[in-house]
Amino acid sequence: MRDLSNWNVCLEVGINHLGSYSLLENVIKDSSIAELGVSITVQIKEEDFYKANKNFYLTLDEHRRFLELCRSMKIPCGLALGPLTDVQALKNGGLEPDFIKTLSISTEDINFIKRLYGAYDCPKYISVGLSATDYIKDEIIPLMNKNDMLIYTCLTHSSQDQNLPEIVALKEFGVPVCFGLHAIDKEIAFTAIGVGAEKIFVYIGNKKLDLPDYDHALDLAEIPQFTQKIDRCVGAMKHSKSKTKRVVIDFVK
């Protein structure tokens, strides 16, 4: 049985598939992600978005095929959801992801969050974005289940604006906190691990194309090295159960 939670990095396609299922399929097959122990999400934005941006639309059947492809490759797969009016329609349409991520704009809509919890039991990663601290504490956290986590995301590309100590503040509410990388400097994710982020969410895509999330996305060729570094950072933060420390030093002769 697959371990659906034993991953450190979630690769977010978002809408970087440009409305093409074949491009989405190629991202999954051509990026070697099945060998990296990561998860992946694709985005389903709110209904009004697609009325104005029909070129980014994927059908329910194409989303089902995405989930089936990931499962056939043993990749934990999720849906990143905008504040949909009818969440139940996804469930009725046969979309059963391993987990769900909410977009920041979705988290600010408490009625959407309640509809989401009413429709799906799978683990949820709740991106808090610009939500006020009291709102997170009083409205969001009481709805969360034991396998759910918050995601702290700074919605600017600037490194100095990331405010990573907010991860520490959110963890004081007694729930696990992840980090959503929107900074152009990808190394910020390593610092986020150091201040307590449980997992890293990062956008990906073929950067030879004009991607909606171009600036803060990883190019497909960057994925292996980035994820391996995140895995090493997570490993460095794990507490050793051994009372003795292993020390090996190779001296230059």
Q: Among residues 208, 155, 163, which one has the least CA distance to residue 184?
A: 155
The answer to whether 39 and 151 are in contact (CB under 8 A) is no
Chain segment 78-134, per-residue pLDDT in tens: 999 999 999 999 999 999 999 999 999 999 999 999 999 999 999 999 999 889 999
When pLDDT is cut at 50, 70 and 90, the band that residue 241 belongs to is low
Higher confidence at residue 252 or residue 190? 190
Flag whether pLDDT at 243 surpasses 80.
Answer: no
Please report, as a single letter, which amino acid is at residue 105. Answer: I
Per residue in 45-90, pLDDT tens? 999 999 999 999 999 999 999 999 999 999 999 999 999 999 999 9
Whole-angstrom distance, CA of residue 97 vs CA of residue 1: 16
- Give the Cα separation of 235 and 1 in Å (integer): 24
Name the CATH architecture for the domain at 9-237: Alpha-Beta Barrel (3.20)
For the chain, the structural domain boundaries read 9-237
What's the pLDDT band for 12 if we cut at 50, 70, 90?
very high
Q: How high is the pLDDT of residue 240? A: 58
Q: Tens digits of per-residue pLDDT, 183-225?
A: 999 999 999 999 999 999 999 999 999 999 999 999 999 999 9
Query: What is the overall mean pLDDT for the chain?
Result: 93
User: CA-CA distance, 137 to 237, in Å (whole number)?
Assistant: 26
Residue 4 in this model has a pLDDT that exceeds 80: no
How many whole angstroms separate alpha carbon 155 and alpha carbon 181? 9
pTM, full prediction: 0.93
Residue 29, pLDDT score: 86
- pLDDT at residue 235 above 60? yes
Would you say residue 1 has pLDDT above 50? no
